[in-house]
Amino acid sequence: MLAFSRVTVIGLGLIGSSIVRAVRQHMPTVRLTAYDADPAVRARVEELGLVDDVTDTPGAAVTDADLVMLCVPVGAIGTTAETIADDLPADAIVSDVGGAKQSVSAALRAALPNNVFVPGHPVAGTEHSGPDAGFATLFHGRWCILTPEEDTPQAAVERVKAFWQALGSDVEIMTPRHHDLVLAVTSHVPHLIAYSIVGTASDLEEVTRGEVIKYSAGGFRDFTRIAASDPTMWRDVFLNNREAVLEILQRLTEDVTALQRAIRWGDGDTLINLFTRTRAIRRSIIEQGQDDERPDFGRAHD
């Protein structure tokens, strides 16, 4: 039994194009329709043969859908939802994949007062963008978080949950507010720091950009992967999860200041206590299958 039989994906970047590939692989009988605001992306999706139909308007993409997945940056969710409102079947469920859920809920409630929506967020991705970057196994063994409202029909939540499980994900349900705080810690602030440190390194007068690149294997290069992620998507995440990001950033700043002080005063015990504690977390992440246990994530060494 399939949770949905006519799935429409709007926005065919890394996540949207991975979803259609994964649906093809795991639910081959599902009818797939796609729309992207960028004509070049639409053409490329046709060329790659990723879906059954690519439409020229968002409205045309949804007229026959039972699930509509909005895979656009968080800041575009509201306007995108407005463009499909008139053509959306009354029983179609709307979902999304955005990284900030309180603002998505508010935008969907305003734009689609008559439809059931179940916002979601697959915690998976790579630093690459666009329809060529997607792949069917992106969600395997990764968590997808659903953030229904209190009055969202349970049956709709269950169907969206079954959809993600069929793509290979584990599914967790939480409130939009809690999602935004958890993701501020595990994703948003790490990205902000990574972008920032790469920016700082490239602006120094005494160290050239060439030196930063040559000696990046000392640790810096790990930050550059994250800092190569899609700029528009990330701008929208920060502007739409402002409160939680600023709260976690404040906590991090306090902790960095304490380390700064330990270094200045030669307090080696504080340093070694922290550095010992942090090893355990990586061990747990590897044990739970959320990262590669080979050295350097399995990077090639030759």
Length of the chain: 302
48 token code pair: 């790659």
Contact between 221 and a copy of itself (CB under 8 A)? yes
Quote the least distance from Cβ 202 to a copy of itself, whole Å. Answer: 6
- Min dist CB 294 to a copy of itself, Å, is 8
Q: Which CB, 63 or 216, lies closer to a copy of itself?
A: 216
Would you count residue 227 as binding a copy of itself (CB under 8 A)? yes
Residues 11-30 that bind a copy of itself (CB under 8 A): none
Q: Of residues 137-166, which lie at the interface with a copy of itself (CB under 8 A)? A: 137-138, 140, 142-143, 145
SS3 for 32?
strand
Asked if 242 interacts with a copy of itself (CB under 8 A), we say yes
CA-closest candidate to residue 192, choices 241, 144, 145: 241
Q: How many residues bind a copy of itself (CB under 8 A)?
A: 109
Q: Which of 91, 127, 153, 173 binds a copy of itself (CB under 8 A)?
A: 127
Residues paired with residue 31 on neighbouring β-strands, in sequence order: 6
Stretch that binds a copy of itself, among 27-35, 54-62, 89-97, 128-136 (CB under 8 A): 128-136
Cβ proximity to a copy of itself, 61 vs 124, nearer residue: 124
In the complex with a copy of itself, which residue's Cβ is closer, 31 or 221? 221
Position among 68, 123, 156, 157 found at the interface with a copy of itself (CB under 8 A)? 123
Contact 107, 45 (CB under 8 A): no
**φ, ψ of residue 275 in degrees (nearest 5):** -65, -25
In this structure, are residues 88 and 94 in contact, taking their beta carbons and an 8 Å threshold?
Answer: yes
**In the chain, what is the greatest distance between 2 CA atoms, to the nearest angstrom?**
67
Token pair of 62 as six digits: 């949804």
Nearer CB in complex with a copy of itself: 89/190: 190
Using the rule CB under 8 A, give the single segment among 46-54, 109-117, 147-155, 252-260 that binds a copy of itself: 252-260
Q: Is 229 in the site for a copy of itself (CB under 8 A)?
A: yes
The footprint of a copy of itself on residues 268-297 (CB under 8 A) is 268, 271-272, 274-279, 281-285, 288, 290-292, 295-297
| Amino acid identity at 264 | R
Q: Can residue 106 be called a binding residue for a copy of itself (CB under 8 A)?
A: no
Cβ–Cβ < 8 Å for 136, 16:
no
Query: Distance (Å, rounded) from C-alpha 284 to C-alpha 26?
Result: 29
- Using the minimum distance from each CB to a copy of itself, give the nearer residue, 2 or 220: 220
What φ, ψ does residue 223 adopt, rounded to 5°? Answer: -75, -30
The amino acid present at 56, given as its one-letter code, is: D
Residue 79 found at the interface with a copy of itself (CB under 8 A): no
Phi, psi of 131, deg, nearest 5 = -65, -20
190 binds a copy of itself (CB under 8 A): yes
Shortest CB 71 distance to a copy of itself, Å: 16
Cα distances from 182 to residues 176, 179, 227, 274, in angstroms, run: 10, 5, 20, 22
